[in-house]
Amino acid sequence: MGAMKKTPYTVKDFAWVHWTPKEMKKLAQEYFVCKKKEYAGIKAILPEKRTYENTIYALERSGGPDVDVFRKISFLGEVSPKEEVRKASHSIMVDISKKLVDIEYDRDLYMSLVEYHEGNFLDEKKHLGEDDIKLLEETIREYKRMGFDLPEKTQTKLKTFLKKVSELGEHFRNNINNYNDYIVCTLEELDGLSPRVIETLPRHPNGKYIVSLQYPHIGPFMAFAKNRKKREELALKNLKKGGKKNLKIIQDIVKLRAEIATILGYKHHADFKTENRMAKSGAIVDTFQHDLLKQLKPLAKKDLDALRAHAKKLGISSLEHYDIAFVSNDLKKKKFDVDPESLRAYFPLPHVLETMFAIYGKLFGITFKKHNAKLWHKDARLYQVNNKNGSLVGYLAFDLHPRTGKFGHAACFDTIVPREERWKSQKFVAPFTSIVCNFSIPTKKTPSLLSHGEIETLFHEFGHALHMTLSLSRHESQSGANVAWDFVETPSQIMENWAWHDAVIAKLGKHIETGKMIPKPVREKMIKGRTFQSGYMYLRQVIMGKLDMDLHTGRVKNGAETYRALTKLYTGINLPKNETLFPAGFGHLVGYDAGYYSYLWALVYACDAFSEFEKKGIFNKEIGMRWRKEVLEKGSSQDEMKLITNFLKRKPNQKAFLKEVVG
């Protein structure tokens, strides 16, 4: 696999970052027409003439000369600074998604695959690779999951439902991205926030400061602002993120998903979604989460009792939802004598990036070099990733500061997916991957200064990026992060561990003014504080996972009320009835439907894998290259359990996970 060659991109190859709405519409239409024509060609092949290449591979690679065009258009909708481009992307995605359902939901295509599987495949099989056979079996399974064994009338109904779900999902995501509520504060009402944070806040026409729902605003404000009334005001606005229209949309999506699952013969949508994941069924996920809740509830109670006791010392008689971050931060500061805000001075973003590249470059045998291509915004930076021998690996972009209309969280986007150029060509398409975050905006005086939590986020997304960039899977649908949904977070979550090791913190920390590293006693306190309030933190993760599963098993109908009830049951915290529209802003209900559990599920494997690094040393190149070769390069060309078992050289277990989560 390592012998695959990739051709470097020219300036022309990056032209897509500047596409206009007109170009996007034209290219999307060409992609659709080409796909339709290629599908017709596959269906027209005579049974005796069918081969793996002209049927299975042709289906996998359909879409014309630029099979990544759809991903590029979608990505520009998340990051373009031009509103007309974002709007056009959204409109095109809704339109083409519906059209693709029309041509992909095709029984004749399914029969073409079956024809090959039951015919010439029997002779060809011995010449095919394990990845080829896996692709064939999984493609046939996915077509079966589209209901092609059902009567034609039922298939038509199913097709209509699938198109509607796709359209509603686009609207749901768009409503979250464009939800721009905020509060205004006087300088006195910002008491507790650092001058650095205040400096980044925009000004209202009335002269006051704007504090938005964007993470670089709401995060520090909820943790540091002393004005309790203003914290409540911002928290209530955040609970309404997405708005009532999104609450209605997600109810409609869940209802449609339930009907689709019933038509296909599944008990509920959760069983349908988990069938092709590592978990295999909704019941197994329920057991996993129920067992975690039992272990976490007493730990979370202990954490919250400590917060309630500390809140009283701060003059807060009753701990409310908008007090938790503030009280937690204050208690952590007193307990470990570490002020997260003052630590930011040690973590200027340019130095953090440089250090991150150095650490993982050595570990995985790669280098990072700045590329001069102009991207979609002046904040976005591009790096060329090479192997140590100079051969091209791929391209990695960073877009790390907030702006209006931009994707509001942290994520990694695989815009150009690595794969072989042609059938068994030994030449590979170079990947283009983007990390999108929302760290504080640098000023003329100061670069963006990260909190340690933001470094953890950056390392996490960098793990996704390496999974996508280092992939050497021949097939696009098996490439990089195209793995079972409950394994996709393993290569990202394992990376967070490095951010908590003393040797790494020492390298990352370089004071903005003095250039000195963080003193060792401070680093020790930081590391001791890692598990501070972790019982409560992980419990909240399980509550969100349970909400997701409860909705998609049909156990509950009202997501907002369920979230309030679960929060009250497991934490004792009351959320306001009218303002709590939590599912409306919970974007994972669309992208991760019946899959939010996968963060903790994948953490089991991430913890176990990292324990191998701890045994040999966290900078051990041999283990690093083994992780690259056995997991990162293979995507889903092999079963995920086989990948992790091959890396560990044993069966995985929960010991390291329980040590981290439960202590």
CA dihedral defined by 342, 532, 487, 164, rounded to 10 degrees? -80
Q: What is the pLDDT of residue 137?
A: 95
**Residue 53 in this model has a pLDDT that exceeds 80:** yes
Alpha-carbon gap, residue 445 to 528, rounded angstroms: 33
Range with lowest mean pLDDT among 267-271, 584-588, 657-661: 657-661
Alpha-carbon gap, residue 495 to 448, rounded angstroms: 22
Domain over 5-174 is classified CATH 3.10.110.10? no
Strand partners, 449: 348
Alpha-carbon gap, residue 172 to 468, rounded angstroms: 26
**Residue 4 in this model has a pLDDT that exceeds 80:** no
What mean pLDDT comes out for the span 131-136? 97
Instruction: List pLDDT tens digits, range 422-462.
Output: 998 889 999 999 999 999 999 888 899 999 999 999 999 99
Separation in Å, CA 477 to CA 178, 417, 644: 31, 9, 19
**Residue 43 in this model has a pLDDT that exceeds 60:** yes
Q: What is the pLDDT of residue 461?
A: 98
Contacts of 608 (CB under 8 A, 6+ apart): 644, 648, 652, 653, 654, 655, 656, 657
Q: What is the pLDDT of residue 591?
A: 80
Q: What is the pLDDT of residue 65?
A: 84
**Residue 149 in this model has a pLDDT that exceeds 90:** no
Instruction: List pLDDT tens digits, range 203-217.
Output: 999 999 999 998 889
Q: Please, what is the average pLDDT of the chain?
A: 94
At 2, the pLDDT band (50, 70, 90 cuts) reads: very low
Range with lowest mean pLDDT among 100-109, 179-188, 362-371, 538-547: 100-109
Q: Which amino acid is at 340?
A: P
Cα 41 to chain center, whole Å? Answer: 36
**Residue 305 in this model has a pLDDT that exceeds 90:** yes
Q: What is the pLDDT of residue 363?
A: 98
User: For every residue of 30-61, which 3-state class applies, written as one string?
Assistant: HHHHHHHHHHHHHHHCCHHHCCHHHHHHHHHC
Alpha-carbon gap, residue 475 to 420, rounded angstroms: 7
**Residue 586 in this model has a pLDDT that exceeds 50:** yes
What mean pLDDT comes out for the span 626-648? 97
Residue 168 CA neighbour count, 13 Å, CB half: 22
**Residue 401 in this model has a pLDDT that exceeds 90:** yes
Q: Provide the 3-class DSSP secondary structure of residue 343.
A: helix
Strand partners, 370: 383
At 1, the pLDDT band (50, 70, 90 cuts) reads: very low
- Is 406 in contact with 79 (CB distance < 8 Å)? yes
Q: Which residue has the tokens 């007493």?
A: 298
Query: What burial class does residue 126 get, using C-beta atoms within 10 Å of its C-beta: 0-12 exposed, 13-18 middle, 19+ buried?
Result: exposed
CATH 1.20.1050.40 occupies which residues in the chain? Answer: 5-174
Separation in Å, CA 283 to CA 194, 513, 541, 550, 610: 47, 55, 18, 11, 28
What mean pLDDT comes out for the span 27-43? 96
At 662, the pLDDT band (50, 70, 90 cuts) reads: low
What mean pLDDT comes out for the span 65-83? 95
What mean pLDDT comes out for the span 23-51? 96
**Residue 252 in this model has a pLDDT that exceeds 90:** yes
What mean pLDDT comes out for the span 593-609? 94
Alpha-carbon gap, residue 356 to 384, rounded angstroms: 15
**Residue 196 in this model has a pLDDT that exceeds 90:** no
**Residue 75 in this model has a pLDDT that exceeds 70:** yes
Range with lowest mean pLDDT among 71-75, 126-130, 147-151: 147-151
Q: What is the pLDDT of residue 663?
A: 61
Q: What is the pTM of this model?
A: 0.85
**Residue 3 in this model has a pLDDT that exceeds 60:** no
Q: Which helix (H) or strand (E) holds 514?
A: none
